[in-house]
Structures are given as structure tokens and as C-alpha cells.
Amino acid sequence: MGIKKEINWDLVELYVKSGCKQINICKAFHIDEETLRSRVQEKYGMTWSAFSASLLSEGDMLIEAQQFQKAIKGYWPALHWLGKVRLGQREPELLNQLAANQTHIDQTHRIMELEHELVELKANANKSETE
């Protein structure tokens, strides 16, 4: 039997919390995935899936806590984002921002487009008659 490779478990936990993939963690320690899985079972008494899921969840919570702290301290982007995500706040709908007389404005605009088109057609027709 070979020498048991030393694993820095604090670093493994940090990598998992950070969202690193198992294969990349194995590469960092120069071990294969089966070795990591069996060593996790041996050290923590749980499967890799349970181990990584709990730490990944903890990493997500740490990120949320940092965002929350920044928001509470007045950092506007974090406060804005948390308002959208946690409180369902959002930008007003575009439809609510239309002018009350938008239909009339659209109709007037279309009339102006048609009048312009008519002038061009008449000019082209007169041009053809004089040629």
C-alpha cells in the first residue's frame, strides 16, 4: 500500500464553499475523485454529495450575508439587488410610463408618415411626366 497523501481539509472546505468542482479540487491535490470521496467518507462520515451540498449551501449563505451587510451599510447596488430578489421590487412597467394620449400621438405620427409618403409619390409622378 502506498503512502496516504495528506489533504488540507480547510482548503478543501474553502474550495467547496467557493463552488469549485470536485474534479478541480482533485487536480489541486493531485488525487483522483475516488480517493477524495473515500477520504471524505472516512473523515466526515458522509458521502461526497452530502458533504459538498452542505458546504456549498454555507458558501451561498456567506455571500448573501456579505451582500446584506453591504446593503445595510448603504451600498446602493447591493441594496437595490436585495430589494429586487428578496422583496420582489422591480422597475415600473414600460406600459405604465406611456403618455396618457399615446394612442393619439401614434396616430398623428402615422398620418405624418403617410403625408410624407404621398408628397414623395407626387414628386416622383411629376418627375416622370416631365421626362
* Ranges of the chain whose pLDDT falls below 70: 1-2, 94-96, 131
Domain encompassing residue 104: 95-130
Computed from CA positions of residues 13, 19, 22, 23, in that sequence, does the dihedral angle turn out positive or negative? negative
The answer to whether residues 39 and 17 belong to one domain is: yes
In the block, residue with C-alpha cell 446602493: 76
- pLDDT tens digits, residue range 119-130? 999 988 887 777
Residue 65 identity: A
Distance CA 126, CA 122 (A): 6
The answer to whether residues 46 and 103 belong to one domain is: no
What per-residue confidence (pLDDT) applies to 94?
64
Number of domains the chain contains: 2
> Considering the domain boundaries, does residue 58 fall inside one?
yes
Question: What percent of the residues of the chain are helix, what percent strand, and what percent coil, each to the nearest 5?
Answer: 75, 0, 25
> Considering the domain boundaries, does residue 4 fall inside one?
no
With contact defined as beta carbons under 8 Å apart, do 39 and 13 qualify? no
> Considering the domain boundaries, does residue 3 fall inside one?
no
